[in-house]
Chains A and B, each alone.
Chain A
Amino acid sequence: MSIAPGLEHLPALPVVIPMIAAPVALLMRPGTTPWLWASIVSWVTLICTIMLLDQVWHSGPIVYEMGGWAAPLGITYYIDLANALVMLLVAAMASVVFPYARTSVEAEIDRRQIPAFYTALLICMTGLLGVAATGDAFNVFVFLEISSLSTYALVAMGARKDRRALTAAFNYLIMGTIGATFYVIGLGLLYQSTGTLNLLDLHEQLANQENKVVEAGFAFIVTGIGLKLAMVPLHLWLPNAYCFAPSAISAFLAATATKVQIYLMLRYVFTVFGFEFPFLEVALNAFLILGITGMFYASIVAVFRDNVKQMLAYSSIAQIGYMLLGISFGTVDGVAASLIHVFNHGLMKAALFMGVGCVVLRLGSSHFHAFKGLAKRMPWTAWGLILSGLSLVGVPPTVGFISKFQLMEAAFQTSTFISPLLVVLLIGASSLLAAVYIGRLIYAMVLEQPPEGAEKITEAPYTMRAALWLMVIANFYFFFHTDLTVDVAHQAAESLICTSAGCGGAY
């Protein structure tokens, strides 16, 4: 191989760097040092993931053997385009949200907890990158727990502002643990019938097995991951967790946590089980129904929420519905649309939650009342929110349009038990619901007057506004430069589906 020395470690570095940096942050003094350290680490990690994606794009999937132990016995990191894209998303969001976090965290969290906060944040990042990078099923569970446990702590840190964060975090802890337990039970059943934990080896070993044990294992794993990614009947932990968490955490989690789980679902459904697994069709039909239900149910709930953070959290659940819909088509285009939306939705939601974070910093509330007349009081924040909100609805020229367009295009070419035209119409209809709740927010910000006698407020600090607008600009940039999202996602979807049954999908 003709790669520069040191670069052969690229698959491990994005996981190892934040892992080593996290404990160091704990020893720092409360103040700006931990923040600066976490930001620098996130930028270094971002550079690593960009180089990794570049390497995978040019020379195909990379296998990295931990400790020099070969698969299937050893733990290997298996990086193809799908992982590399998700890892890039996580690192990119971290590198934007971490710098943003400084002022917001100082206002919302006890000063003494700041080093612990950045430690937990870096550990969370390690876990999310690890889930995406690893090619070993049990290693997935370990990293899943690493990211989840630190997330519970981070959500609970919002308790200084609002004690309801504690119950939200506890709720999340219980639901998340049930999800993780289901995953492990499923994994145990698969291990029993195959004797391997390597994801690619699992696929080969499962090829000739059709029995109840494997089917039960599949059901447990899909349900477990479904709980973690807030598939619709299993979404109850999400709204409060996102609502009461510190603003920076809401932005980071909404942009990354559920997205990594979507990737994991894709990996299991298509790489590990694949189309020759007869039970798969049941799951895909379930995704279709649950996806559409989620799109409508969560959007309608979002319309009636009075807390903007909670509204955006429900909107996240609805957007998960689009991603599940993309998976349920079972075609390269559908999976690609799902991956594109994973990336694009990360951009939109990060921008929206960061905008709300600016408002919370200055007005101390994320209730709709605080947003009245915001366009006059905090123009930069308000217009950032408006533009990223339009992206969420899917207005060109924003990335939201690309997502919806790809999804509709994929829907036309499939033959599910619901007619393609109806699916397309349903996607359009639920976009209209998004237009309603975003429209409500825009109405409050632009057309309503600020409350009588409201004191004059200053704009959010430059660092926060810069991070917000960087994301807003990204929402437009990736409409015009689709080579990163659309091209990579299509290749990634092909590689995901090709590892199972031939190309093209067998639906």
Chain B
Amino acid sequence: MMGHVVLRITIKILFAPIILFALYVQFHGDYGPGGGFQAGVIFAVAFIMHALGFGIDKTKQALPPKVLPAIMVSGVLLYALTGVWSMFYGGNFLDYDLIQPDSHHHAGQHIGIILVEFGVGLAVASTMLTVFYHFAGREPEIADEDW
């Protein structure tokens, strides 16, 4: 338990800034470089680092694998339903202008892309973590029922 003190302290210090940076990349995505894919990966990196430093079981306590599919699904649905939303307002699929039709500086476009990118971010982060959990938590010999 006393090993890797420097590593563990570093991970503890860096954890919050990494999440913050992920959120920055996420919500900066509609103005500059960034967006859901990069943000999702950075977000997942924080947890993967935690798992490397403290062991996968601790990470699984903090973020149970069971909730990940729900996050994945809500991410994809957020994306798709944003598209469907504009359909109900008379536009085409993903026509963000319909979200705020009266705006003169295309506020709808901004809201739309932020929603969609947030959906992408959720899906990417949870998928990255699922892949990591499955590889890291894999048992050496697999029971027949697991196939």
- Residues of B within 8 Å of A159, CB to CB, are 147
Give B65-119 interface residues, CB cut-off 8 Å to A: 69-70, 72-73, 76-77, 80-81, 83-84, 86-87, 91-97
Residue in chain B with minimal CB distance to A158: B147
- A24 touching B93, Cβ below 8 Å: no
* Contact B77–A24 (Cβ < 8 Å): yes
Complex Cα distance A159/B84, Å? Answer: 37
Q: Mark A56-99, 1 if CB is under 8 A from B, else 0.
A: 00000000111110000000000000000000000000000000
Q: From A20, A23, A27, A110, give the contact of B146 (CB < 8 A).
A: A110
Whether the pair A26, B72 counts as a contact (CB closer than 8 A) is: yes
Q: Which of A20, A23, A26, A66 contacts B94 (CB 8 A)?
A: A66
Instruction: Give the Cβ gap from B11 to chain A, nearest Cβ, in Å.
Output: 31
Is the pair A66, B93 in contact by a Cβ cutoff of 8 Å? yes
What per-residue 1/0 map shows which CB atoms of A131-164 lie under 8 Å from chain B?
0000000000000000000000000000110010
A68 to B112, CA, bound (A): 13
Given A68-B97, A110-B146, A159-B147: A23 touches B92 (CB 8 Å cut-off): no
Counting from the closest, the 8 A-B pairs by CB-CB distance are A68-B95, A23-B73, A67-B94, A23-B76, A160-B147, A12-B93, A20-B80, A67-B95
Any chain B CB within 8 A of the CB of A9?
Answer: yes
Say whether A19 faces chain B, with CB atoms less than 8 Å apart: yes
16 contacts between A and B (CB under 8 A): A9-B87, A9-B92, A12-B92, A12-B93, A22-B76, A26-B69, A26-B72, A64-B93, A65-B92, A66-B92, A67-B86, A67-B94, A67-B96, A110-B145, A160-B147, A163-B147
Which residues of A26-61 have CB atoms within 8 Å of chain B's CB atoms? 26-27
Whether the Cβ atoms of B84 and A20 lie closer than 8 Å is yes
Q: How many residues of chain B get a CB closer than 8 Å to chain A's CBs?
A: 22
Residue of B nearest to A161 (CB): B147
Task: Name the B residues within 8 Å of A160 (CB-CB).
Answer: 147
- Give Cα distance in the complex from A227 to B95, angstroms: 36
**Identity of the chain A residue whose Cβ is nearest the Cβ of B75 in the assembled complex:** A23
Cβ contacts under 8 Å, B86 to chain A:
67
Task: Contacts A110-B145, A159-B147 given; indicate if A16 touches B76 (C-beta within 8 A).
Answer: no
Contact with A along B48-72 (1 / 0, CB 8 A): 0000000000000000000001101
A8 to chain B, nearest CB (A): 8
Cβ–Cβ < 8 Å partners of A110 in chain B: 145-147
Number of A-B contacts (CB under 8 A): 51
Which of A9, A67, A110 has the largest count of B CB atoms less than 10 A from its CB? A67
Among the listed A9, A16, A27, which residue makes an inter-chain contact with B80, where contact means beta carbons less than 8 Å apart? A16
A191 to chain B, nearest CB (A): 21
Q: Which of A343-394 contact B (CB under 8 A)?
A: none
What's the Cα separation between A9 and B70 when bound, in Å? 29
| Chain B interfacial positions (CB closer than 8 Å to A) | 69-70, 72-73, 76-77, 80-81, 83-84, 86-87, 91-97, 145-147
Question: A20 CA to B85 CA in the complex, in Å?
Answer: 13
A355 to B76, CA, bound (A): 36
| B111 → A minimal CB distance (Å) | 13
Residue of B nearest to A75 (CB): B94
- The reply to whether B73 and A19 form a contact with Cβ atoms under 8 Å apart is no
* Nearest-neighbor residue (CB-CB) of B81 within chain A: A20
Q: A67–B81 contact, CB under 8 A?
A: no
Please, which residues of chain A bring their CB within 8 A of the CB of B84?
16, 20
Name the residue of chain B whose CB is nearest to the CB of A12: B93
Partner of B69, one of A12, A22, A27, A64: A27
| A16 and B83 contact, Cβ closer than 8 Å, known pairs A24-B77, A67-B96 | yes
Chain A residues with CB under 8 Å of B95's CB are 67-68
A195 to B1, CA, bound (A): 59
Q: How far is B145's CA from A26's CA once the two chains are assembled, in angstroms?
A: 20
CB contacts (< 8 Å) of A22 on chain B: these are: 76
Task: List A148-191 residues whose CB lies under 8 Å from chain B.
Answer: 159-160, 163
Contact A19 B80 (CB under 8 A): yes
Given contacts A9-B87, A9-B92, A24-B77, 14 further A-B contacts (CB under 8 A): A12-B87, A12-B93, A16-B83, A16-B84, A20-B77, A27-B70, A64-B93, A65-B92, A67-B93, A110-B145, A110-B146, A110-B147, A159-B147, A163-B147
